């Protein structure tokens, strides 16, 4: 590396979470028929509570501390990133208790189907 080159810095877990939520906003929710609010409580080395609002008009996210939600989803930040990156199936994570759900379970299942559709080849 020469003196003028800048070293590449890997994104932090918080950066990856923001990237994922921004991708959700960009993707939208074409299958959404109602407005549903999800509280995501991420634990582990990078923690945070986020409100994800999914509606036919789109997807929006913000800091979720103290916000009411239809469903609360608790998981480790690294598992959340792995699900978003496709290296961990969200349904398997739920079955293996890596994800804790509270509230309207049908809403939580809808979130998985909107953003992490089942593999058609499986």
| Domain range annotation of the chain | 13-111
pLDDT of residue 1: 54
Q: What is the mean pLDDT of residues 39-56?
A: 92
Q: What is the mean pLDDT of residues 49-71?
A: 92
pLDDT category of residue 28 using cuts at 50, 70 and 90: confident
Please count the CA atoms within 13 angstroms of the CA of 40 that sit on its side-chain side: 27
pLDDT of residue 97: 92
CA 90 vs. chain centroid, Å, equals 10
Q: Into which CATH architecture does domain 13-111 fall?
A: 2-Layer Sandwich (3.30)
Yes or no: say if 36 and 5 are a contact pair by the CB < 8 Å rule. Answer: no
Contacts of 85 (CB under 8 A, 6+ apart): none
């Amino acid at each position: 590396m020469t003196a003028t080159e800048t070293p590449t810095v890997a994104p932090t877990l918080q950066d990856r979470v923001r990237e994922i939520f921004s991708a959700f906003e960009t993707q939208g929710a074409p299958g959404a028929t109602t407005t549903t609010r999800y509280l995501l409580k991420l634990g582990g080395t990078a923690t945070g509570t986020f409100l994800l609002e999914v509606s036919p008009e789109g997807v929006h996210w913000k800091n979720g501390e103290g916000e009411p939600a239809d469903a609360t989803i608790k998981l480790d930040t690294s598992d959340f990133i792995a699900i978003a990156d496709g290296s961990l199936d969200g349904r398997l994570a739920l079955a293996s208790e890596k994800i804790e759900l509270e509230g309207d379970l049908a809403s939580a299942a809808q979130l998985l189907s909107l953003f992490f559709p089942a593999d058609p080849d499986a």
